[in-house]
Amino acid sequence: MSAQTFAELTGPAATTFDEVLRRNPGEPEFHQAVHEVLESLAAALTRRPELADAALLERLVEPERQVLFRVPWTDDSGRVRVNRGFRVEFNGALGPYKGGLRFHPSVNLSVVKFLGFEQIFKNALTGLGIGGGKGGSDFDPKGHSDAEVMRFCQSFMTELYRHLGEHTDVPAGDIGVGGREIGYLFGQYRRITNRYESGVLTGKGLGWGGSQVRTEATGYGCVYFLAEMLRVRGDDLLDRRAVVSGSGNVSIFAIEKARELGAQVVAASDSAGYIVDDKGIDLDLLKEIKLERRGRIAEYADRVPHARYVSGGSVWEVPCDVALPCATQNELSGTAAAHLVKHGLMAVAEGANMPCTPDAVRVFRAAGVPFAPGKAANAGGVATSALEMAQNAARTSWSFADTDARLGAIMRDIHATCLETAAEHGHEGDYVLGANVAGFLRVAEAMTAFGVV
């Protein structure tokens, strides 16, 4: 990650951030996530100065528990490999820790802490009883056989299981952790504990405790939020040109829902490059390539003559009306943001966690482009995970339509909460401030009620 320029903080926020930098050296992603929240809290602390008492900010930025562990496993040739595992249980004031596991070579403590910190506020915004946590490993499932992935997941869970429980910590999937990995992880948890504790992991298969819409939820939820942003401004997605970065679950189902609401999605990407299809992405083909065969997006252009593939570069070179960054952190730079604004960008909703750099966010806000941060716009995934937990607790399941309706209602409620909170604090229309302050207030009030713990 390149160095970011942070705006100056004042008062308790500045003191807290200085301490974060001192205690967490060499963790730029975590620094960025903390600064983004603290930058918004001046308005809340001016109205509620007592929330700066009892070192509440200092406690908020310090994880309740950080677990790092060795993950040894054997590949198909019999060679022993060693990866590193992480679980950061950041804040449990509102409920059991909840947040995904990411398996990717870029995973380190800074990345996991940034994701866990974001998760605190995202989960609070859902209004459901879940705290914030995150975890993962620097293991990359790509290029490994099913048997190798299984052995890695079993070794990973053999250490992690002792920290989990449906009332303690409930992981889900993230980048590199889909239904296959969740199945192997749950199987090992059940084997070790001798308990069929469905609520200990979410993102499970539908035949063994999973929820309808969970696979689609983050992408669908992001588009529901985007549609609300446009609706309150008297607009909609009909015939709008959209660009979605990434081509995993979040991206593909954001494309699916955007198309359902009338948008024309013309570009998507993976780590090697991006495709442009001015007639609109063929979603069935994209699903076959990326979800069924785990292939490269370049294959799309090989099979669609009028589409073009660009190796490397940035998908944000493609002009659009609405942008849905759904790939990874810090993928959309200030330069890319200025290019999009110049070409008529109307709105941005983050489907990934912190995909826009601070410079990009400043460009969007300065240009008056409505911008939805990930902790609000991509909360649909964790919201549906909490719905899965509720179904597991009741030993029941809901239909796709029922679960999708609940997801839509939650996303509309999060949108309304962000707008109302921003207006109450003198920053009408500022989704970043609204999301940060609303999430902070819910967590802070619970922490205050519990005393110094």
| β-pair partners for 372 | 349
High-pLDDT (> 90) share of the chain, %: 94
pLDDT digit string (tens) for 289-310?
A: 999 988 999 999 999 999 999 9
Model pTM? Answer: 0.94
How far from chain centre, in Å, is Cα 118?
A: 8
Whose structure tokens read 């979603």? 283
Assign 54 a pLDDT band (cuts: 50, 70, 90): confident
- Confidence at residue 1, expressed as pLDDT on a 0 to 100 scale: 41
Rounded alpha-carbon distances, angstroms, from residue 381 to 74, 251, 343, 452: 32, 12, 31, 31
Q: What is the rounded distance in angstroms from the CA atom of residue 433 to the CA atom of residue 417? A: 11
Q: What is the rounded distance in angstroms from the CA atom of residue 254 to the CA atom of residue 285? A: 15
pLDDT digit string (tens) for 433-445?
A: 999 999 999 999 9
pLDDT digit string (tens) for 405-444?
A: 999 999 999 999 999 999 999 999 999 999 999 999 999 9
High-pLDDT (> 70) share of the chain, %: 99
Segments of 198-341 assigned E as strands = 241-244, 264-270, 273-276, 308-311, 322-324
pLDDT digit string (tens) for 132-161?
A: 999 999 999 999 999 999 999 999 999 999
pLDDT digit string (tens) for 91-124?
A: 999 999 999 999 999 999 999 999 999 999 999 9
pLDDT digit string (tens) for 29-42?
A: 999 999 999 999 98
pLDDT digit string (tens) for 243-252?
A: 999 999 999 9
Residue 134 among the catalytic residues? yes
Segments of 55-193 assigned E as strands = 65-74, 80-91, 97-103, 131-137, 169-173
Assign 283 a pLDDT band (cuts: 50, 70, 90): very high
| pLDDT above 50 (res 2) | no
Q: What is the rounded distance in angstroms from the CA atom of residue 346 to the CA atom of residue 340? A: 9
Mean residue pLDDT across the chain = 96
Assign 22 a pLDDT band (cuts: 50, 70, 90): very high
| pLDDT above 80 (res 4) | no
Q: What is the rounded distance in angstroms from the CA atom of residue 312 to the CA atom of residue 344? A: 24
User: Using an 8 Å Cβ cutoff, are 90 and 119 in contact?
Assistant: yes
Catalytic, out of 98, 113, 122, 134: 134
Assign 186 a pLDDT band (cuts: 50, 70, 90): very high
Report the pLDDT averaged over residues 50-76.
Answer: 95
- Confidence at residue 32, expressed as pLDDT on a 0 to 100 scale: 95
Going by the DSSP 8-state scheme, the letter that residue 279 receives in this structure is: T
pLDDT digit string (tens) for 368-399?
A: 999 999 999 999 999 999 999 999 999 999 99
Residue 284: partners with Cβ closer than 8 Å, 6 or more residues away: none
What six digits make up the tokens of 43?
């308005």
Residue 346 CB-density burial (10 A; 0-12 exposed, 13-18 middle, 19+ buried): buried
